[in-house]
Amino acid sequence: MKQAIITIMLAIVCMTGQAQVKCHIWGELRDTTQGKTVIICPAGTDLRVSNNYITAKAGVQGRFLCNVETDKMTLYNVFLYEQYEHGSLANTEFLVENGATVTLRFDEGKWKVISGGPEQMLKVKMDAEAEKLYLGKMEEISKQAEKEIRPLVEELRKQGKNPEEDSLLVKRVEKYEEEYEKLYHAYRAWELKYYAEHPMQYALYDMADQMRYNNNRHDEQKQKLMSLYHNMYENFHPENPIHNTIRTLEAAWLLKPGKPYHDFDVHTIEGKKVQVSSLYRGKVALIDFWASWCGPCRRHSKAMIPIYEKYKDKGFTVVAIARENDPKDMIQAARQDGYPWESLIDLRDELNVWQKNGLGLGGGGMFLIDRDGTILSTSTETEELEPLIKKALSIE
């Protein structure tokens, strides 16, 4: 009886504050040594700049309940807050569907979706097949590599040797990497084929997730994903807002040197919405995406100050945009670093400026734009940017 009362209280605490519950979340922590505080939030939520999340405290038996209300099917994320605090967390995503009950389990350091609504169950079935055909084998390779390689590395270090210079060890590592990569590419090819043969809305969320990858090694996969999207999924459940996300991410992916930069809205510190193009039109401009909490961003921005001062009267400008949870943090950081330019802001990802520029949830990035709006560089290094700025300004 006591456990039932606790369960009911947890459910009430986890309510989003709306009268009608649309989705019921039930979970079990079979391993509570890594934490008991469960965070449930829309996928892509960054706790550094958003308070759009639900906290559920697991009970004595590691169980938790949570009710989430949403007017549309939405992809959610689950993880342990204690792991998040330490910078290393296991997480998984699941679909919040109207009227559905989602069952989650955390065991052996991993989250697993056991069951859910109709769309989620299509993904559960797919994942089970992927596990049998590819994912299980990939995990086994990783475990074997860890078991064999780690002792060898430790022994070499004890002998005062550099493991990276041991040719036999390097060859062994490369062999494991080749085996893993072969399976990985086979899995991705199978995944695309599966999505083509088994239409499901989860495919749209997966496409959006993979389009957020910033590494160039994913470009070939992105091309295949977008081909599948335009050939089959572009008009699949067009009412789903994830289509807007995919189109935005595709546009951001195409933001490469030689390509035209795009336009988007951003806020001034006073809250006025402006088009970013209006701030640099006709000039050579550096679009600087930064944040008060991002050390590397601030170092790159500060390094641009002497470059800005040198060329600001010759047609060069900096358009800085901060990603913040509180405007005061931006103001304080800008004052502390001594930026001579004004900074705009995307407060709590209201305008999704980072996503529109393919920056994911990272700290930031830079785009050097020519007078005609062509992207000249995406580097953040002044030694690479200054020669391009001089050339664009026709300065010898």
Give the C-alpha separation, 236 to 21, whole Å: 27
Q: Are residues 381 and 311 in the same domain?
A: yes
The answer to whether residues 225 and 201 belong to one domain is: yes
Q: Domain total for the chain? A: 3
Within this chain, do residues 332 and 215 fall inside the same structural domain, yes or no?
no
287/387 same-domain check:
yes
**384 and 280 share a domain?**
yes
Query: Does residue 258 fall inside a structural domain?
Result: no
249 in the same domain as 290: no
- Of 253, 280, 303, which residue constitutes the final position of a domain? 253
User: Both 109 and 129 in a single domain?
Assistant: no
Domain contains 323: yes
The pLDDT of residue 129: 97
Q: What does the pLDDT look like over 223-268, one tens digit per residue?
A: 999 999 999 999 999 989 899 889 888 888 888 899 999 899 999 9
Domain annotation covers residue 259: no
**For the domain that residue 329 is a member of, what is the CATH number?**
3.40.30.10
Indicate the pLDDT class of residue 208, thresholds 50, 70 and 90. Answer: very high
| pLDDT for res 252 | 81
Q: What is the mean pLDDT of the chain?
A: 90
Distances from the Cα of 301 to the Cα of 51, 64, 136, 364, 388, angstroms: 27, 44, 44, 10, 17
pLDDT for the residue 249: 86
Is residue 4 predicted with pLDDT exceeding 90? no
* 260 in any annotated domain: no
**Domain CATH number, residue 87:** 2.60.40.10
Tell me: do 233 and 188 sit in the same domain. yes
Residue 1 has pLDDT above 60, yes or no: no
152 and 36 within one domain: no
- Report yes or no on 100 lying in a domain: yes
Kindly indicate the confidence band of residue 24, based on its pLDDT and cuts at 50, 70 and 90.
very high
Chain segment 36-87, per-residue pLDDT in tens: 999 999 988 888 888 889 999 999 899 999 899 877 888 999 999 999 999 8
Residue 18 has pLDDT above 70, yes or no: no
Q: Which of 230, 253, 276 is the last residue of a domain?
A: 253
Assigned domain for 131 exists: yes
222 shares a domain with 305: no
Residue 284 scores a pLDDT above 80: yes
**Share above pLDDT 90 across residues of the chain, in percent, rounded to a whole number:** 76
Note the pLDDT of residue 63. 96
Task: Give yes or no for residue 7 having a pLDDT over 60.
Answer: no
- Percent of the chain with pLDDT strictly greater than 70: 94
pLDDT (average), residues 173-201:
96
Report residue 362's pLDDT band, with 50, 70 and 90 as the boundaries.
low
- In terms of residue numbers, what domain contains 232? 121-253
The answer to the question of residue 129 being in a domain is yes
Pick from 58, 86, 116: which residue ends a domain? Answer: 116
Residues 78 and 143 in one domain: no
Q: Are residues 246 and 343 in the same domain?
A: no
* Residue 308 within a domain: yes
